[in-house]
Amino acid sequence: MNIGDVSQASGLPAKTIRYYEDIGLVLPLRGGNGYRDFRESDVHKLTFVSRARSLGFSIEECRMLLSLYEDRTRASADVKDVARSTLDRIEVKIAELNAMKATLSTLVKKCHGDDRPDCPILDNLSEAPA
């Protein structure tokens, strides 16, 4: 299977797949012409990574999940740990963004947004620290 087909199948750009090979996430074979030759298992792995990434797992977490996936004897608790720490990171990020959103939307609401130069947004940014 060539990289283009794998790209189709996994939903990942070819560039990204080459990058994933670079960092050792997949190790496709090579044909006589130098082309990468992907096995079904490579495609499966890449699809796996593609989804894990879209769920917010980092590359290193994906690497860990893959190795857990390949270890038929691993405990589900190990996987759950990775997932939970990802979930924690996501929740922290959401909280931060919500705080930003709250402040910013208050400011946007306060700003009359007309031709006059006075603006509560800039005023707030340049105020003395609390």
Partner DNA sequence: GTAGGGGTTCCAGCAACTGGAAGGTCAAGA
Partner DNA sequence: TCTTGACCTTCCAGTTGCTGGAACCCCTAC
Q: Please give the residue ranges that form the binding site for DNA (CB under 7 A).
A: 2-5, 7, 13-16, 18-19, 31-36, 53, 58-60
Strand partners, 37: 29
Q: Which is nearer to its own copies, 22 or 118 (CB)?
A: 118
How far apart (Å, rounded) are the C-alpha atoms in residues 99 and 94? 9
Kindly compute the dihedral angle of the four CA atoms of residues 41, 42, 48, 52, in this order, to the nearest 10 degrees.
150
Residue 29 parent element (H or E): strand 29-30
Listed residue (38, 29, 27, 30) closest to 3, CA to CA: 38
Name which of 35 and 103 has its Cβ closer to its own copies. Answer: 103
Least separation, in Å, of the C-beta of 73 and its own copies? Answer: 6
Question: Where on the chain is the footprint of its own copies (CB under 8 A)?
Answer: 11, 44, 47-48, 51-52, 54-56, 65, 68-69, 72-77, 79-80, 83-84, 86-87, 90-91, 93-94, 97-98, 100-101, 103-105, 107-108, 111-119, 121-122, 124-126, 129
